Amino acid sequence: MRNTSILFCILLVLISCKINNSNEILVTNNESLQKALKNTVAGDIIVLKNGVWTDVEIKFTGEGTKENPISLKAETAGKVFIEGVSSLEMSGNYLNVSGLFFRNGHSPKKNVIAFRTSEKQVANHSKVTNCVILDFNNLERDQDNLWVQLYGKHNEFSNCYLAGKTNGGPTLRVDLKGNQSIRNYHKIINNHFGPRPRKGGARGETIQLGSSFTSMSPSNTLIANNLFEECNGEVEIISSKTNFNIIKNNVFYKSEGSVVTRHGNYVSIDGNYFIGDGKNENYGGIRIINTGHWVTNNLFYKIKGKNFRSPIAIMNGIPKSPLNRYNQVTDVVVAYNTFVDSDSPFQFGVGQNLAQKDVLPKSEIRSARALRTEVVNNVIYNSKGDENPIIEHDKADGVTFNSNIIDNNGVDFKEKDWLISKDLTLTDICSDISVPVSGFSDVAPYNGFDFENITEDLLGNSRGKSNQIGALATSQNIKLNVLDKSKYGADWYSNVFEAKEPKTISVGINDNLQAKIDEAENGDIIDLGFGLFEINKPLVIKKSITITSSGDGKAHIIYNGEKETPLFSLQPYGKLKIEKVILKGNNTNYLFATLKKNMSNHFGLKVNYCEISNFNYVLRVYKQAFSEEIIFKGSSITNCENGLELSEETNDRGDYNTEYLTIDGCIFTNVKQNVIDYYRGGYDESTIGGNLLVTNSTFTNSGASEKNKRLFNHNGIHNVNINNNIFKNNKVKFVSILWGAKNNIESNNTLINSGILKTEENLKQTLMY
Amino acid sequence: MRNTSILFCILLVLISCKINNSNEILVTNNESLQKALKNTVAGDIIVLKNGVWTDVEIKFTGEGTKENPISLKAETAGKVFIEGVSSLEMSGNYLNVSGLFFRNGHSPKKNVIAFRTSEKQVANHSKVTNCVILDFNNLERDQDNLWVQLYGKHNEFSNCYLAGKTNGGPTLRVDLKGNQSIRNYHKIINNHFGPRPRKGGARGETIQLGSSFTSMSPSNTLIANNLFEECNGEVEIISSKTNFNIIKNNVFYKSEGSVVTRHGNYVSIDGNYFIGDGKNENYGGIRIINTGHWVTNNLFYKIKGKNFRSPIAIMNGIPKSPLNRYNQVTDVVVAYNTFVDSDSPFQFGVGQNLAQKDVLPKSEIRSARALRTEVVNNVIYNSKGDENPIIEHDKADGVTFNSNIIDNNGVDFKEKDWLISKDLTLTDICSDISVPVSGFSDVAPYNGFDFENITEDLLGNSRGKSNQIGALATSQNIKLNVLDKSKYGADWYSNVFEAKEPKTISVGINDNLQAKIDEAENGDIIDLGFGLFEINKPLVIKKSITITSSGDGKAHIIYNGEKETPLFSLQPYGKLKIEKVILKGNNTNYLFATLKKNMSNHFGLKVNYCEISNFNYVLRVYKQAFSEEIIFKGSSITNCENGLELSEETNDRGDYNTEYLTIDGCIFTNVKQNVIDYYRGGYDESTIGGNLLVTNSTFTNSGASEKNKRLFNHNGIHNVNINNNIFKNNKVKFVSILWGAKNNIESNNTLINSGILKTEENLKQTLMY
């Protein structure tokens, strides 16, 4: 026995050696890092010393093994800061990266992290985990890139936090070009996709799986257990463009978009949470295009998105669609989902545009309705009844409905054959989330083809024995914590910050206003008292601040700065709220303007109760600058050459300069041109924006120099609402020409000697694709 | 022990019972058959009594099990004849059909054998084996149907013989509409697909896997070990339109078409034999469209197909192609194939049609070249050197070439970087087949991504140890018998018949000519001596016969039949060869005409050394009638109102009335209109036909009544050759207008007072799709 024991010990040691064939290499600067990267061997662990690493291009290659991967990690996770012009590329096998924090910089390449080092050299069986990428944006919005791009096979991107991408391009893309990257079985799991601001136009997806050019390829990517929080980049949060992907158990929380099966087929969207607030109509659900998708076990909670953004949007296809457009929906299953207080959850024929057949080419007309599609075993609960739980933009005649129930709280609806009425009660299953979990056991689930493969419910409970319709197969003791952010992302990073009490900084008339602004922190208030300030050069705004008067009167700023310079230079991160200030220019300079270049992050502007006069431009937004909101409220604008100019996005790729432009209770007098000039070029039916609201305002003697004789120009803007305004003595032909087919409306306006307000159903647009 | 034995025996009996739970039910007529079909249980064997079963519609349903399938079989395989208006449909699980012979009839449905009984009720794990379908054609060519249509999953179609389909529609189709029919793993194995005559236009495939509408669906169908013999229906023998199919170890023998990856992706075409005769330019190879196909281990032997039909035709795609057109080729591998005496085996940019950009819409222009494609490890041997082993219809700049060799027997060629020259020798590996099997061991095989999955060669030998380029990994003792027909199809049927010596039947002037024709058998000769025959009603031709004169003079037939009736009524199977006969009409009746309806099989016509005069029509071919060949040789046609009329296929679906129309050494005098009128409507770039040859002939005083002032009308015919003719005093504007972009040519013609012969590069055509 003794000999055997010794042998066993030797064996154990040998095995340990094999397993622990590790070699830790601490690197302290770029030079030692590059050296360490040169000749990696299986088991190597390259450790980056804590601190700031500036301008590092990491090319991490090597042949690790399952037992002995090669690692690149932070000395302490979260304490290694990759800044400046930096990137990470990797190729080989079994490579692990962890603990890095990308911030204060941008990538010199087409991606920040790439799972390849050249077209043919890709990474396989490799992992990036426990990292953060924050605001690592290119300098210009139009400089598209990706933060993470997966190639190769069997890679993992996990437990990372990514937030703040403002430039074009999806945050993360799986690329399938080349046989080396198909059937990839990548895992994108346990991440926290934090806020991605509205981008203003297309190319703002959070995740994109392939592209239309690889939409025929098998991908088999898994996206599971991620939190998507305020992913507002564009209408698609996840754009699945390949086949056989699995999107499972993710939480979509207050995210202005949908999960879209844009191209590709046979995607499983199972057990996800779509959580809205019951108000915001931009929070969407699942939009279906193409063949063979299974949408099962999902919970939709207070989702108010409409049409393209409705909880379940089944699109019409284009007959014999071009590769990059819309294939018909066929063989889709929508089963065992639960909808609580979500408006019109089932919408069919979404995108039907037969009315536009005269202005669009035939290859753009979506007339092919869904075929062989099953909508079954779903539960709808509406605390406040919904008159249209089902909307047919086109006939749902290719859809089988069965065993769907609704508690509509007494409100009548049309589709009695498709929805069975029931009285249900709600059960709390999570903080702030209550759903019906019982009361429908008498409705036998419809058993479609292959339904035996729906083995579990939303929570992973077996559907085997006591199956029931809806997302939850059981009503027993459900206590969820899906919104516990500590479950997602890097373990060392949290995006929850303690609310800071704003500080008020008083500025006397002899103070240097710029110095005071610089002294302020995000959220602070600059109090001008009611003094008079003469300013000679632009005030730089690079943070969120409020500038206000205090007391009874209004402060007064006279700007004597040079021609074509702004009083307020709105720079990246510069979000200015200015209230109750009298602002006066010298007729050649500007009030507000962005930078002409390098607006690498969004700006913002709210102007409340100000008196503005004698500027060349009130607001001038240059190309590639973007604000989520611009609001003028209760303010007067008098004797200015130009008003609000947001019309430089002329490359017709669907971009625009602000998501929301609001004029409320303002008085425009003698503003000669560009009174409101807000442009979006390039027709794209699926992205939706911007938004112009002009209400309770008065426009007098304005627009006289406008060449096209329109007071307002808002070409291509999707949502326009002009109501309760007075237009008097404006020398124009049109106050506005509204786009009827989009959401352009006007009401209750008074026009006196000011041309007309005209609506055209279809405007000719440049196609984007 | 004794008790155990008893127990064991009981167990054995129980198991036997389970396995042999069979119940044979002999049915003798339709009534008892229908009764037996009504309540099948696992283990039932329904036996059809030997004999002819007329007008039976079999709906075979039931739930068999793996151990106890339900069977429907012939009492003796091959002795149960299904005739008349009959069909077979099946649905359920584990159903087996065997031994049936479908002949002398057609189906009342859209298919003869269907693996479903309704849209949702399909067959799974079921099999049709050892059956024959022969000439079971619909009455009209335009009545498209399928002989075999597979639905459901895991079905097998094996050891069957199918031949003689003349009407539209593929012989066999796998259908994928509906989730119940995807990932089907059907096996189409060991069949003999016998001669399928040219159909004349599209829709004549032998096998079609899905359609463009299901081209996104995974099919996983296996087509293996089949013999395709003279499958000449159209340019596609196998049209793969779905994903992940496997086409393996089949023999394509003298078949006028190609294996085409028409839609869908990731098809494996491995270890097949393409065997031609070194002459016929219609025998093709593999035509590649779309993504991810692997073409490996195939042998091409004496394949002379060009362009679309070349051994390896890599097509150009249409950028962002519509669903039913041409996607770009990407990520395709062509490796380890051997080409012997096959012309220009590698062709790239096939279908490139930039020159037609003015006559075709943009969505028809194939300008997208292959990307990320590898052509490697292939061997070419040419006994007679080939100046263009590689043809670039468009640049092959997205293609990687590596480790390809050629023995071009000293003939120079251009692509030295892509093909390495070697001296090789041939080895006999099969009767009449010799290939190079060695002499290239010094060329290391290129090792591309995933090439480790090419584990075997053409013969199933391992490539592991002694790998080499080309289809054969070994040179040891190769003795093949791939052309032994007994290996394929039903074990009770052979299409090899002993050659019959033709019988000559002499006809005296007092004999009833029709009676003598009826007496003749296929191939026999009717000898008219040199008598004079007056005929008053049409002679019916329903078989292959020759009518001839004998001795020195020519026999003489005067036709006094009614107006618009033909002397010879060419009916299904009626193939007439008439030689050395003087044929005279009454100016109102016809010489040759098909039936106006129900031409359920092809006719044929050869007219040699005849003197024809005074007919209203010399030949009138009605819509839906088709002949593979029509030849007029050394004959005169004088004083006829109409000549050869083959222009009723006006529905513009690409159909036409004869594959080959040949006029050789004839004299046309005073033929007023439709001198030659041969029409094909509907532009389709991939199907190729018909063929008009007019040579060594003289046309005088003809075409005077032709409204469009053309002597010949051959609109849409792809191959036209007009040479060495004399045209004299024909009152026309054009002898012909040739289509330059297609293969329309003329040479060495003499025109005297006969208008002109004009060539137009691009003719405006109606698109078919």
* CB contact (8 A) between residue A320 and residue B323: yes
Q: Does a structural domain hold residue B743?
A: yes
Q: Does a structural domain hold residue B198?
A: yes
Q: In whole angstroms, give the CA distance from residue A303 to residue B373.
A: 46
* CB contact (8 A) between residue A179 and residue B363: no
Q: B608, B639, B656 — which closes off a domain?
A: B608
Virtual torsion, Cα B370, B373, B375, B376, nearest 10 deg: 170
Partner residue facing A217 (CB), from B120, B292, B328:
B292
Higher pLDDT, A500 or B669: B669
Same-domain check for residues A554 and A680: no
Nearest alpha carbon to residue B175 among B148, B135, B144? B148
- Is A402 within 8 Å of chain B by CB? no
Q: Judge whether B299 and B270 are in contact, CB under 8 Å.
A: no
Average confidence (pLDDT) over A116-132: 97
Q: Judge whether A331 and B178 are in contact, CB under 8 Å.
A: yes
Q: Judge whether A702 and A730 are in contact, CB under 8 Å.
A: yes
Q: What is the predicted pLDDT for the residue at A389? A: 98
Cα dihedral across residues A414, A419, A423, A427: positive or negative: negative
User: Residue holding tokens 């609806």?
Assistant: A413
Average confidence (pLDDT) over A76-102: 98
Report percent pLDDT > 90 for chain A. 88
Nearest alpha carbon to residue A643 among A614, A608, A619? A619
A756 is written with which tokens?
């007309």
* CB contact (8 A) between residue B266 and residue A218: yes
Q: In whole angstroms, give the CA distance from residue A653 to residue B9.
A: 80
Nearest alpha carbon to residue A389 among A418, A355, A350, A358? A418
Supply the pTM of this predicted model: 0.93
pLDDT tens for residues A330-381? 999 999 999 999 999 999 999 999 988 888 888 899 999 999 999 999 999 9
Q: Judge whether B114 and B128 are in contact, CB under 8 Å.
A: no
Q: Does a structural domain hold residue B618?
A: no
Q: Does a structural domain hold residue B392?
A: yes
Q: Judge whether A310 and A285 are in contact, CB under 8 Å.
A: yes
Note the Cα B148 to chain centre separation in Å: 16
ipTM for the predicted complex = 0.91
Q: What is the predicted pLDDT for the residue at B742? A: 84
Q: B459, B487, B515 — which closes off a domain?
A: B487
When pLDDT is cut at 50, 70 and 90, the band that residue A525 belongs to is: very high
Q: In whole angstroms, give the CA distance from residue A60 to residue A41.
A: 12
How far does the CA of residue B266 sit from the closest CA of chain A (Å)? 8
* CB contact (8 A) between residue A292 and residue B179: yes
Q: How far is CA A719 from CA A311, A606, A680, A694, A745, in A?
A: 20, 20, 11, 11, 8
Contacts of A185 (CB under 8 A, 6+ apart): A153, A154, A220, A221, A222
User: Based on C-alpha coordinates, what's the Rg of chain B?
Assistant: 29
Q: Name the domain count of chain A.
A: 3
Average confidence (pLDDT) over A142-153: 97
Q: Judge whether A191 and A489 are in contact, CB under 8 Å.
A: yes
Q: What is the predicted pLDDT for the residue at B5? A: 57
Report the DSSP pairing between strands B555-559 and B532-535: parallel
How many CB atoms lie under 10 A from the CB of residue B15? 11
Q: In whole angstroms, give the CA distance from residue A182 to residue A152.
A: 7
Q: What is the predicted pLDDT for the residue at A13? A: 44
Least trusted range by pLDDT, from A406-420, A472-486, A488-502: A472-486
Same-domain check for residues A604 and A729: no
The identity of residue B350, as a single letter, is: V
Note the Cα A523 to chain centre separation in Å: 24
The chain A residue lying nearest B263, using CA atoms, is A216
User: Residue holding tokens 């094999």?
Assistant: A18
Same-domain check for residues A507 and A479: no
Rounded to 5°, the CA angle A731-A737-A742 comes to 160
Q: What is the predicted pLDDT for the residue at B360? A: 84
Same-domain check for residues A384 and A512: no
Asked if the model's pLDDT at residue A1 lies above 50, the reply is no
**Chain B contacts in chain A segment 162-201 (CB below 8 A):** 177-180, 182
The SS3 assignment for A4 reads helix
Nearest alpha carbon to residue B337 among B374, B306, B304? B374
The residue segments making up the domain with residue A563 are: 497-619
B213 is written with which tokens?
């509408």
Report the DSSP pairing between strands B427-430 and B433-435: antiparallel
Same-domain check for residues B739 and B600: no
User: Residue holding tokens 């970087």?
Assistant: B417
Q: B573, B608, B643 — which closes off a domain?
A: B608
How far separated are the first and last CA of chain A, in Å rounded?
76
List b or e across B195-210, with b for residues whose CB sees 16 or more CB atoms inside 10 angstroms. bbbbbbbbbbbbbbbb
- Phi, psi angle pair for A16, to nearest 5°: -60, -45
* CB contact (8 A) between residue B321 and residue A324: no
Q: What is the predicted pLDDT for the residue at A3? A: 55
Q: What is the predicted pLDDT for the residue at B13? A: 44
Q: Judge whether B669 and B692 are in contact, CB under 8 Å.
A: no
Q: What is the predicted pLDDT for the residue at B357? A: 87
Q: In whole angstroms, give the CA distance from residue B526 to residue B539.
A: 13
**Chain B residues lying within 8 Å of A323, measured CB to CB:** 320-323, 327
Q: Judge whether B583 and B609 are in contact, CB under 8 Å.
A: no
CA atoms within 13 A on the CB side of B279: 1
Same-domain check for residues B270 and B327: yes
Query: Which of B180, B289, B296, B323 should one mutate to test binding to chain A, selecting the residue with the greatest count of A CBs within 10 A?
Result: B323
Same-domain check for residues A478 and A535: no
B620 is written with which tokens?
């009138």
**Chain A residues lying within 8 Å of B120, measured CB to CB:** 449
* CB contact (8 A) between residue A217 and residue B363: no
Q: Does a structural domain hold residue B534?
A: yes
Same-domain check for residues A368 and A434: yes
Q: Judge whether A333 and A283 are in contact, CB under 8 Å.
A: no
pLDDT tens for residues A722-765? 999 999 999 999 999 998 888 899 999 999 999 999 998 877 66
Q: Does a structural domain hold residue B410?
A: yes
pLDDT tens for residues A200-224? 888 999 999 999 999 999 999 999 9
List b or e across A159-191, with b for residues whose CB sees 16 or more CB atoms inside 10 angstroms. bbbbbbbbbbbbbbbbbbbbbbbbbbebbbbbb
* CB contact (8 A) between residue B216 and residue A292: yes
When pLDDT is cut at 50, 70 and 90, the band that residue A12 belongs to is: very low
Q: Judge whether A530 and A549 are in contact, CB under 8 Å.
A: yes
Q: In whole angstroms, give the CA distance from residue A738 to residue A754.
A: 16
**Chain B residues lying within 8 Å of A184, measured CB to CB:** none
- Phi, psi angle pair for B451, to nearest 5°: -65, -15
Q: What is the predicted pLDDT for the residue at A15? A: 45
CA atoms within 13 A on the CB side of B272: 27
Asked if the model's pLDDT at residue A688 lies above 90, the reply is no
Report percent pLDDT > 70 for chain A. 96
Q: Count of CB contacts below 8 A, A vs B?
A: 88
Q: Does a structural domain hold residue B664?
A: yes
Same-domain check for residues B587 and B706: no
Q: Does a structural domain hold residue B15?
A: no
**For chain B, which ranges sit under pLDDT 50?**
1, 9, 12-20
The SS3 assignment for A15 reads helix
Same-domain check for residues A340 and A431: yes
Q: What is the predicted pLDDT for the residue at A6? A: 58
Same-domain check for residues A429 and A510: no
The strand ranges marked E within A621-666 are 627-633, 636-646, 658-664
Same-domain check for residues B507 and B476: no
How much is the mean pLDDT over chain A? 94
Rounded to 5°, the CA angle A102-A128-A173 comes to 80
Q: In whole angstroms, give the CA distance from residue A621 to residue A596.
A: 8
CATH number at residue A244: 2.160.20.10
Average confidence (pLDDT) over A447-474: 94
The chain B residue lying nearest A324, using CA atoms, is B320
